[in-house]
């Protein structure tokens, strides 16, 4: 039965991957090639190399470096250090830089998957874990991240390396990876807070110094005005632009849309307290880490659907539980239906559907990572490899 299930899901994942690959290749020869998030750090790389303002209007940078890129965002949304990522790519023509970044993302994706699967037993991993990985490969958010040329797949790899270093009690090494993530995306700070409260201060302190060093490097390279401009003006202007975007499901924006600043604060604090409660209610470190990893996706000013790809370790962590109750199984099915790829196209027609399915999915996912009451009861379903 195990072999049949894995074969079925492997074939399905393979078909989905081929369809996605065909779409990605096809889009390279359309105008969509010039409508990627990748444009932002590509132009930032050009600006860094030329000594131009990293946060000049993107149409202005495009006019200077590549006129084909003049129909995208007003200003780059990325922190200054991301220009260093764009720097080597800026030496290539835009088309080939897109190809190079796509290849890099695929390598990061493969590396992250291999590390995660190995952690859960490799080929001997529980059947649900391998099914989750197969489904993940064909998951729509993975395609969206590859299509946009985003940073979330490399961040998935960095967070996976951070988790493995923490498990090996190499906290300084873990802090290095975590600091890189925070520097390039202002992401995963809830994990740093959890580690600090947990008493593993070396990791968050190292992450802090990495963040400071990254910004100090950019101050030395571009001047303090550029770094100050990002944190004082650009970040706020980008948030203002997307606060009412229904596809932005961050806790802050969900609350802000209803009750303004007070609502944003209340919802964000409620999610953070909920996550910390779940994380510290278990003595198991992995459980706490996975809860905060999940919470990180919505405890940002802006949250998009492709942020969820950083949750692969948490998905596998849940799937690795070989004994569960029927009520938990039903809840898992509910969450899967809630986040099925079908809701995303539908949300373009019914905007209200864009915000709530992913937001509620994350709230449910946090609870599912740490089902305290369920673990106290006697399980009645066994999904171990031997029985599967």
Domain ranges of the chain: 2-34+92-382
> Which H or E run contains 61?
helix 58-65
Q: What is the pLDDT of residue 49?
A: 95
Q: What is the pLDDT of residue 380?
A: 42
Q: What is the pLDDT of residue 372?
A: 54
Residues of the chain with pLDDT under 70: 1-2, 9, 71-72, 322-323, 371-388
Residue 212: both structure tokens together: 């400071």
Q: How far is CA 329 from the centre of its chain?
A: 25
Q: What is the pLDDT of residue 71?
A: 66
**CA angle, corner 242, sides to 239 and 246, nearest 5?**
140
User: How far apart are the C-alpha atoms of 111 and 218, rounded to whole Å?
Assistant: 29
Q: Positive or negative CA dihedral for 96, 99, 105, 110?
A: negative
User: How far apart are the C-alpha atoms of 264 and 255, rounded to whole Å?
Assistant: 4
Residue 343: both structure tokens together: 């809701």
The number of beta carbons lying within 10 Å of the beta carbon of residue 19 is 12
pTM of the model: 0.91
User: How far apart are the C-alpha atoms of 227 and 78, rounded to whole Å?
Assistant: 11
User: How far apart are the C-alpha atoms of 268 and 168, rounded to whole Å?
Assistant: 31
Q: What is the pLDDT of residue 385?
A: 47
Smallest CA-to-CA distance from 294 within 256, 339, 261, 328 is with 339
């Amino acid at each position: 039965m195990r072999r049949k299930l894995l074969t079925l899901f492997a074939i399905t994942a393979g078909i989905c991957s081929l369809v996605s690959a065909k779409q990605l290749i096809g889009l390279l020869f359309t105008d969509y090639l010039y409508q990627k998030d990748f444009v932002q750090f590509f132009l930032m790389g050009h600006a860094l190399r030329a000594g131009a303002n990293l946060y000049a209007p993107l149409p202005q940078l495009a006019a200077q470096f590549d006129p084909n890129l003049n129909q995208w965002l007003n200003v780059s949304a990325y922190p200054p250090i991301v220009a260093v990522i764009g720097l080597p790519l800026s030496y290539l023509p835009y088309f080939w830089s897109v190809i190079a970044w796509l290849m890099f993302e695929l390598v990061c994706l493969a590396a992250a998957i291999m590390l995660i699967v190995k952690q859960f037993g490799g080929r001997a991993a529980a059947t649900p874990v391998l099914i989750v990985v197969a489904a993940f490969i064909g998951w729509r958010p993975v395609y969206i991240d590859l299509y946009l040329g985003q940073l979330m797949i490399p961040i998935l790899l960095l967070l996976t390396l951070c988790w493995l270093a923490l498990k090996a009690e190499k906290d300084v090494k873990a802090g290095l990876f975590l600091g890189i993530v925070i520097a390039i995306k202002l992401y995963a700070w809830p994990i740093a807070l959890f580690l600090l409260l947990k008493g593993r201060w070396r990791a968050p302190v190292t992450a802090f110094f990495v963040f400071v060093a990254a910004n100090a490097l950019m101050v030395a390279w571009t001047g303090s005005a550029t770094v100050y401009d990002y944190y004082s003006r650009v970040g706020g202007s980008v948030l203002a632009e997307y606060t009412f975007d229904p596809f932005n499901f961050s806790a802050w924006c969900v609350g802000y849309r209803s009750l303004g600043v007070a609502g944003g604060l209340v919802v964000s604090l409620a999610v953070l307290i909920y996550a910390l409660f779940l994380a510290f209610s278990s003595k198991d470190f992995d459980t706490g880490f996975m809860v905060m990893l999940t919470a990180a996706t919505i405890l940002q000013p802006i949250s998009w659907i492709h942020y969820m790809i950083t949750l692969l370790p948490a998905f596998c962590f849940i799937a690795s539980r070989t004994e569960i109750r029927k009520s938990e199984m039903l809840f898992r099915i509910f969450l899967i239906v809630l986040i099925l790829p079908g809701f995303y196209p539908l949300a373009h027609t019914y905007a209200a559907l864009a915000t709530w399915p992913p937001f509620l999915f994350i709230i449910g996912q946090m609870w599912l990572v740490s089902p305290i009451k369920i673990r106290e009861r006697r399980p009645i379903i066994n999904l171990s490899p031997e029985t599967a």
